[in-house]
Structure 1
Amino acid sequence: MNNSIAGESLGKDGKPVFAFVTIDKLILPSVEQIRSDISAVLPDGSHIDKIEVDNDGATFSVNGYEVIVTDMKFPIPWKDLEGPCASSWIWPEATTVLKKHKSHLVVVLTGKNGTHLERNVLLTKLLSAMTTSFSGTGTYWGHGNVVLSPELIHEMAAAASVEEPPVLLWVNFHRFKSSNNALSLVTEGLEYFDCMNIEIIDSEQSAEKILDLAIGLAYICLRGDRITDGDTVGFDNDGNMKIPTKHVPSVRDNTTMVIRVGL
């Protein structure tokens, strides 16, 4: 699903939030299995109720939210997954695994309590649980065009919180080389959380340094801190801030403003 649609049509102002689980075959879990898998990812004292399983998936409530898990009966179009799979540096096998999936589940969380960030943290944990319950082969976070293996979603969801947002699940970090062989990086997915995306263009720094800085800045933005036009980020050897930033039109879309980092 196009992440701009996901960000604008759903997920804001208490509207539903959603993500996807890829499957090879719909194998319906028991009510007990779903309860166990949800309980495993949520804090003690969470209220899990009204679990129902039918031929299309399952429904349940969690802490005042309603959740619908629906088998769409067809795979996610490869044109939507091909790019995210090819660029997934944390899951090199993504293309091999996801190109074979036969169908996908939509996991939808509805409820107006909580912030947009809180709802997506809960969705992330339930996405992990449903990957277990329905024997998922992977997950697709369409708002940032990110694909993850079951092992990665379990690991990231377990640590996810409002204070520790799962950056690598929610944000795609696209890296590429320019014609002069300099490195560039642009993010995708921060806009879904009302944050500006980050761009580092034609840098002579190492790929590792560029990625580390971008991940750190994305983390700061998701936690609610704003990087204003002209702020400096990062530290030099004396502990002083040294890397300038500015708000400029994106290299991908000149109608969208981004945080450009002069690394």
Structure 2
Amino acid sequence: MPQINRWIALLPLAAPQLPNFAGIERAFQERFPDAVQPSTPGGTERLTTCSLGDFTASATLIDQPIPPAQLVGPCAAAWYWPDAAAAVSNHTAHLLLTLVDEGGTPIDRALAFTRWTAAVAAASDALGVFWGPSRAIHRPADFIDQAVQSSINDLPLYLWIDFRIEPVANATGGPGFLRLYTTGLEALGQNELEVQHFVGEPQTLLSSAYNVAHYLLERKKVINDGDTIGLTEEVQLTARRGPSMLGGELEVIQLQWE
């Protein structure tokens, strides 16, 4: 069975127009002058392809909207972009972006695809950026700004990973609590993170999960069942490996506060 390509992004458009390679190349050079530049362009009226170092990148024009069901959840969850649903509601077409894995590490691929996506978004006046690996949607200007600031030493985790926090009612009638799960770490070569029960501020939970994700990716750490992760001298987490609380066969890292 062929492997599914993880590196997909969707850009909703107000009008069905594919930017030409020259425009994408210019946007790329302006924003990422020190990165490997796109080269050897090809394609058709509705498809642009190029080489991006060891990778092959593409942008395909789809002359119809993204299915509404694919955007409803991400738009509703985009607390950082309250107007997401309204911003993309009237789009008439979209671009399908891909990156074919032909080498490098997951981080190399993610950085290359982030730059390609940002350049195409800038060249096409996209209404939004739907990042496939995390199934999250972003305001184009925010995506481009964070992409420009990103590097191997400054990973744009909020672009790559959806840190989803949900309130949970206590079945016993006691105080409610929060839970968290990530989407996007698997594409980066790590297990997804989950917190089944947390009492405290949402920002504290988000910051803790972010720091653990950054620790895993920066140090390429393999977390074993029962390992302790020290976020600060006062805050220690225990990592447990187990099935996802969301169901299915996915093994995740469950974080527990000590």
Give TM-score, length-normalised by structure 1.
0.85
Task: Tell which deviates more after alignment, 132-141 or 240-249.
Answer: 240-249
**Structure 1 residue 31: Cα displacement:** 4.5
Q: How far off its partner does 1:240 sit?
A: 5.0
How far apart, in 2, do the equivalents of 1:139 and 1:31 lie? 19
Aligned CA distance change for structure 1 residues 108 and 210 (closer, same or farther; 3 Å): same
SS, match of residue 262 in structure 1: strand
Secondary structure of the 2:70 match is helix
The worse-fitting range, judged by mean Cα deviation, of 74-83 and 47-56 is 47-56
Return the letter of the residue paired with 2:56: E
Partner of 2:180: 185
Q: Which residue pairs with 1:205 in the alignment?
A: 200
User: Counterpart of 1:248 in structure 2: which amino acid?
Assistant: G
Q: CA deviation at 1:47?
A: 4.1
Alignment of 1:240-255 (within 5 A): 242-253=236-247, 255=249
2:221 maps to which residue?
225
Percent identity, aligned pairs only, is: 25
Deviation string, structure 1 residues 110-166 (Cα, Å, up to 9, x no partner): 362322321221010110000011111111112211101111111221122333322
In structure 2, which of residues 205, 211, 230 is the aligned counterpart of residue 216 of structure 1?
Answer: 211
Tell me the C-alpha RMSD between the 2 structures: 2.3
* Cα deviation 1:55-82 (Å, max 9, x = unaligned): 3142333335332211111111111111
Match of residue 160, structure 1, among 147, 150, 157: 150
**CA positional deviation for 1:104:** 1.1
* Closer, same or farther: CA 155–202 of 1 in aligned 2, 3 Å: same
Stretches of structure 1 lacking an aligned partner (at least 5 in a row): 1-5, 12-16
Answering whether residue 92 of structure 2 is matched by residue 102 of structure 1, we say yes
Going from structure 1 to structure 2, the CA distance change for 1:105 and 1:254 (only over 3 Å counts) comes to closer
Q: Structure 1, residues 41-99: CA drift from partner, whole Å, max 9, x if none?
A: 32437344334575314233333533221111111111111111111122111111122
Q: Does residue 5 of structure 2 align to residue 10 of structure 1?
A: yes
Residue 163 of structure 2 aligns to a residue whose secondary structure is strand
Q: 1:14: which partner in 2?
A: none
Match in the other structure for 2:173: none
Which segments of 5 or more consecutive residues in structure 2 lack a partner in the other structure?
171-175
Runs of 4+ in 1 over 4 A off after TM superposition: none
Equivalent runs, 1:20-35 vs 2, <5 Å: 20-35=10-25
